Structure formats: C-alpha cells, structure tokens
Amino acid sequence: MMIGYARTSTLEQKASLEAQSESLKAMGCDRLYEEQISSVAPREALKAALSYARDGDTLVVTKLDRLARSVRHLGQIVEDLEKKGVGLRVLDLGLDTSNATGKLMLNVLGSVAQFEREMMLERQLEGIAKAKALGKYKGRKPKAQLQADQIRTLVAQGLSKRAVAEELDLSERSVYRVLANA
C-alpha cells in the first residue's frame, strides 16, 4: 500500500497542500495524511501515517522538507520505517529507499538540505545585523512593556500572574519580566 503525507507550514499555503495531495493521489497513494503545521510543532498526521504503515507499505512525500526538519530527524524517521519494513519514496527527487542506492542518496540529499537551511539562517542573521547597524531594524514592538500599567493594575487587584497573562494575551514569563523591571 502507498501512504501519502502532505504538509505545509501555514494555513495560507492551501494551494501548495492541494498540489501535494494531487501529486500523491496521481502516484496511486491509497491513503493520504495532510496537515498544515510548522515542522517543529507536534505533527499528528505524520504520527498517524507512520503508525498506520505496515510491512511492505511505502510512505510517499512530494519533497524531503515536507517530511523531516533535519538530517537527524530524517534518519530517525527512516530508521523507524525500516524497522517496520516500510519504504520511503520522495517524488521530486525520484528517490526510493527500497534499494541501497536510494538509501545513500537520501542521506546525501538530507545533508545538503540541512546545509542549505543553515546557510539561509546565517544569511538572515547577517541581514538583520546589517539592518540594525543602519538603524532600519527595530525588531517587534515590546507588547508586554506597552501594557505594563495594565499588568501592575491587574496584579494589584489580586489577579494571579497566569490570569493576567491570559487576560492580556501575553506569556506568563512576560508578566513576570514586566513586574521585575518595575
């Protein structure tokens, strides 16, 4: 059985999710798992797909980055699939782990993808540093500091710090930080 898994990071990427789903259906996936969630968040559809897969099945994804967040994570997924006798197919790479060459290529391409991601993050940090030096990057507005008076008032009225955080849509840590700075 071929099991498809499609993922986008945000809800705004609906067209991408639909395109992935269509590609997976066209490949003949009998069962399809979809989700719109960041790769670092708990991915329940991926867990369900991995749990459903049985010996002789193949997990199919359109792109490697839709499946794993790092080489280590990819290795863990592949190892779990191998233990169950489940293959992995990555459509855009023409990759199939049912043979030794496919497994080698998966590891090489996974390493390249992680390198590319790290380089992108490095460039992003350089860009932010440059913008800060030019006075063009201010960061986000300090939401909690702007509500400092409200925080102190609510705490003085007897509300717990957790209740204040929920009331003002802040993290509890931000409430503590504002009170410590007072």
| Residues noted as catalytic | 9
DSSP string spanning 53-69?
A: --TT-EEEES-GGGT-S
Contact 13, 66 (CB under 8 A): no
60: Cβ contacts below 8 Å, ≥ 6 apart: 2, 3, 4, 5, 24, 27, 29, 88, 89, 90, 91
Rounded Cα–Cα distance for residues 113 and 176 (Å): 39
64: Cβ contacts below 8 Å, ≥ 6 apart: 74, 90, 92, 93, 95, 106, 109, 110, 113
Beta bridge partners of 35: 7
